[in-house]
């Protein structure tokens, strides 16, 4: 007999139906994965189980039962007892879900007070027990920390501890590893799987990453436009897909490799002995100010038409190195381009080189001015670097750029919020390319995108590189993406280069233990 059963779920926002006739069954001790792209209805389906949908959502279900209990018949008090009681939830972004003003102890204890009426002493003992359970230090120091004092993986573990506090029967995990490095993803998912076995939990895992799902889920439901298009065991769905959409998702996983560059490809940029240090926080009044060496004397070369990938976990120094190369933060060392040391140029002199060095940031929505139209955003750089162009010439360039990145001409009159994540990233690429740069720095350009959208952006970048002979400095923690687009790879850890070389050599014959661990976390099946 199933633990949780939902039949005939329908969710509407006004006249728009976002989930249609959705059904699922969750068995005790099993992990069921809801898979699909953004907007497919995965999270809405999960939230409906706890009646946590937005106020403007209208939803109904034919049946919704937990064991013998009809969840549709519960009153408000009973629903509150269900949430965090028999059903726990791990939200997608822990930094947003956790209260920034509360300590770890207070965050976990809150549900113990509400659901069990525990005394403070018993709640504190239970908090320490939960910290041990999720493999965090069971110390007073950890209990007293605030969310901003924790790493991404630690915050996610606190979220898991909160979800487990009242010994739930079901755990809903909504994209629990989306923003985490591959090694942290591995540890969090391994932890969830271990807890599932130890506590005999039923887990509803929401994910768009088929690699994650293939390693941890027992069964899969593939969702598309609010409907279940395929259901079955993980092995059946991934190895014998029946639906065209499932096959599309599988084919969208980054694959292939870049052809080798010609041996005589000239050097575009050479950096030597690049170092970046930041001042830390003084621990005592008269103590020396600690110094963090974010980038520790790194040298690299980028050839014309080449993509150099930089990989590593958070705080490894990847983005800091890129910002130093762009002269956007102070650094030491030498950056040579056309026999000119960019490090020796002042701000005014450097402005003349900006059109040759452009950047596409991780979050396109955050980097695009919401008050400007797409046409204005793309053309903005021309006012500084090509003031001699007439208005008609600028408009013609914008039209050409929109066409090159696969956006319609009508997009120029719309605003960033009217576009999807993938479309916004295309706008950011067009804004950079309109200045005809030679080197494009891409800082996690696909990390916030679904796999199929990632695939489209990667294919676009490859075609643009071939057409314009562009060089890329590509920063990512996603090794599958790096393998598919980079000619060479540099692995970073704690501000240092662990190893570097041709992509094929690094992926097939890594020489360092750290690189082995990254590969194992990214490609284990």
Q: What is the spatial order of strands in the sheet that 267-279 belongs to?
A: 291-303, 267-279, 332-337, 340-341
Q: Does residue 399 fall inside a structural domain?
A: no
Q: Is residue 274 part of a domain?
A: yes
**Which pLDDT score, from 0 to 100, does residue 1 have?**
62
Same domain, 247 and 272: no
* pLDDT for 179: 64
Alpha-carbon distances of 255 from 217, 238, 245, 480, rounded to whole Å: 23, 16, 18, 7
pLDDT number for residue 310: 96
- Do 471 and 500 belong together in one domain? yes
Is residue 262 situated within a structural domain? no
**185 in any annotated domain:** yes
pLDDT at 524: 63
Q: Are 278 and 204 contained in the same domain? A: no
- Which pLDDT score is estimated for 187? 85
The count of domains in the chain is 2
Domain end, chosen from 224, 251, 278, is at 251
Alpha-carbon gap, residue 499 to 501, rounded angstroms: 7
Residues 312 and 181 in one domain: no
Tokens of 458: 């990667």
Q: Pairing relation of β-strands 227-233 and 340-341?
A: unpaired
- Residues 6 or more apart whose CB falls under 8 angstroms from that of 339 comprise none
How far is Cα 228 from Cα 247, in angstroms, rounded to an integer? 14
Residue 130 CA to residue 144 CA, distance in Å, equals: 15
Q: Are residue 277 and residue 221 in the same domain, yes or no? A: no
Are both 238 and 275 inside the same structural domain?
A: no
The answer to whether residue 483 is domain-embedded is: yes
Instruction: Identify the bridge partners of residue 311 per DSSP, sorted by sequence position.
Output: 491
Same-domain pairing of 239 and 92: yes
Give dist(CA 106, CA 124) in Å, integer: 9
Tens of pLDDT along the chain (525 residues)?
689 999 999 999 988 999 999 999 999 999 999 998 888 899 999 999 999 998 899 999 999 999 989 999 999 999 999 998 999 999 877 777 899 999 999 999 998 998 888 899 999 999 999 999 998 999 999 999 999 888 888 888 999 999 999 999 999 999 888 767 777 888 888 899 999 999 999 999 998 878 788 889 999 999 999 999 999 999 999 999 999 999 998 888 888 888 888 888 899 999 999 999 988 777 677 777 778 889 999 999 999 999 999 998 888 899 999 999 999 999 999 999 998 999 999 988 998 899 999 999 877 777 889 999 999 999 999 988 989 999 999 999 999 999 999 999 999 999 988 887 788 889 999 999 999 999 999 998 887 677 888 888 899 999 999 999 999 999 998 888 999 999 999 999 999 999 999 999 999 999 999 999 888 887 765
Residue 227 falls within a domain, yes or no? Answer: yes
238 and 154 together in one domain = yes
Is 282 in the same domain as 230? no
Structural domain containing residue 293: 268-366+439-523
Is the domain of 154 the same as that of 241? yes
- Kindly state whether residue 178 falls inside one of the protein's structural domains: yes
Give the list of residues 6+ apart from residue 37 with CB closer than 8 angstroms, or none: 208, 224, 249, 450, 451, 452, 453
Residue 160 has a pLDDT of 92
Residue 190's CATH number:
3.40.50.300
Q: Residue 480's closest CA among 453, 501, 503?
A: 503
For residues 84 and 93, what is the distance between their CA atoms, to the nearest angstrom? 17
Q: Of 219, 251, 283, which marks where a domain is finished? A: 251
And the tokens for 106? 């207070």
193 and 241: one domain? yes
Same domain, 217 and 309: no
Instruction: Confirm whether 425 is domain-assigned.
Output: no
| Tokens coding 176 | 């629990």
């Amino acid at each position: 007999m199933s633990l949780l059963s939902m039949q005939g779920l329908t969710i509407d926002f006004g006249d728009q139906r976002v989930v249609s006739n959705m059904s699922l069954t969750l068995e005790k001790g099993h992990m069921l994965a809801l898979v699909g792209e953004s907007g497919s209805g995965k999270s809405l389906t999960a939230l409906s189980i706890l009646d946590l949908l937005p106020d403007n959502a209208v939803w109904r279900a034919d049946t919704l039962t937990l064991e013998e209990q009809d969840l549709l018949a519960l009153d408000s008090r009973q629903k509150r007892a269900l949430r965090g009681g028999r059903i726990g939830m791990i939200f997608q972004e822990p930094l947003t879900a956790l209260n920034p003003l509360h300590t770890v102890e207070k965050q976990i204890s809150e549900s113990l007070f509400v659901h069990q009426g525990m005394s403070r002493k018993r709640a504190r003992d239970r908090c320490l027990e939960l910290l041990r359970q999720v493999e965090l230090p069971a110390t007073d120091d950890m209990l007293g920390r605030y969310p901003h004092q924790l790493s991404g993986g630690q915050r996610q573990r606190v979220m898991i501890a909160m979800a487990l506090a009242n010994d739930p029967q079901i755990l809903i995990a909504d994209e629990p590893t989306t923003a985490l490095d591959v090694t942290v993803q591995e540890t969090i998912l391994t932890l969830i799987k271990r807890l599932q076995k130890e506590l005999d939990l039923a887990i509803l895992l929401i994910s768009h990453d088929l690699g994650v799902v293939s390693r941890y889920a027992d069964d899969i439901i593939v969702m598309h436009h609010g409907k279940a298009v395929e259901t079955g065991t993980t092995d059946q769905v991934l190895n014998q897909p029946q639906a065209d959409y499932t096959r599309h998702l599988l084919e969208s996983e980054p694959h292939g490799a870049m052809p080798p560059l010609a041996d005589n490809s000239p050097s575009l940029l050479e950096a030597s002995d690049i170092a970046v240090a930041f001042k830390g926080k003084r621990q005592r009044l008269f103590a020396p100010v600690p110094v963090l060496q974010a980038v520790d004397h790194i040298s690299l070369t980028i050839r014309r038409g080449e993509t150099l990938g930089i990989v590593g976990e958070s705080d490894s120094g990847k983005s800091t190195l890129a910002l130093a190369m762009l002269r956007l933060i102070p650094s030491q060392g030498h950056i040579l381009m056309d026999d000119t040391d960019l490090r020796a140029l002042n701000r005014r002199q450097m402005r003349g080189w900006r059109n040759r060095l452009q950047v596409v940031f991780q979050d396109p929505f955050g980097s695009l001015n919401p008050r400007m139209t797409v046409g204005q955003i793309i053309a903005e750089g021309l006012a500084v670097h090509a003031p001699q162009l007439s208005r008609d010439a600028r408009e013609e360039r914008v039209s050409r750029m929109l066409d090159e990145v696969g956006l319609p001409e009508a997009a120029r009159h719309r605003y960033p919020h009217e576009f999807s994540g993938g479309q916004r990233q295309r706008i950011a690429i067009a804004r950079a390319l309109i200045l005809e740069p030679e080197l494009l720095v891409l800082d996690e350009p696909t990390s916030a995108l679904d796999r199929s959208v990632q695939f489209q952006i990667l294919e676009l970048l490859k075609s643009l590189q071939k057409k314009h002979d562009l060089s890329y400095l590509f920063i990512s923690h996603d090794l599958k993406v790096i393998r598919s687009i980079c000619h060479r790879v540099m692995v970073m850890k704690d501000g240092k280069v662990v190893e570097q070389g041709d992509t094929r050599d690094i992926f097939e014959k890594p020489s360092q233990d750290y690189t082995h661990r990254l590969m194992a976390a990214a490609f284990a099946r």
